[in-house]
Amino acid sequence: MELDQLTYQIIGCAMRVHNELGAGFQEIIYQRSLAIELEKEGLPFEREKEQTIFYKGSPVGTRRADFVVDSKIIVELKALSTIDDLHLVQAKNYLTAYAVPVGLLINFGGLSLQYKKI
């Protein structure tokens, strides 16, 4: 599936979750709800996929992405009043660690859904 189309579908799923729940819940509630929407949309995904982080060839820890959709897009969720540059940098680092071309940073914490394509 084309990356733009896949990104569009993921954002649509997130919008349905935000329209139903609004703001004010913990991130895990949105994560579980988005999993339901992605499944209904028929999108292949892995939730909380763990990846080893390396420094100069040595493993130094692990990180879990909220979602990896179709092995092509990292989806990182937040439930904050606003997202800032630190969250964008964090999401960019995940793209490198997971070796995927596109990331989505989605924030459910505002009155309107916020998302950034990376």
pLDDT along the chain (118 residues), means of 10: 92 98 96 98 95 88 92 94 86 83 94 94
Between the two ends of the chain, the Cα-to-Cα distance in Å is 18
Q: How far is CA 104 from CA 1, 11, 57, 65, 88, in A?
A: 16, 9, 27, 11, 9
The domain spanning residue 46 has which CATH number? Answer: 3.90.320.10
The pTM assigned to this predicted structure is 0.90
pLDDT of residue 111: 92
Q: How many domains are there within the chain?
A: 1
pLDDT of residue 97: 80
pLDDT of residue 2: 92
pLDDT of residue 93: 85
**What's the token pair of residue 10?**
């993921």
> Whole domain around residue 79: which residue ranges?
3-117
115 DSSP β-pair partners:
106
pLDDT of residue 1: 64
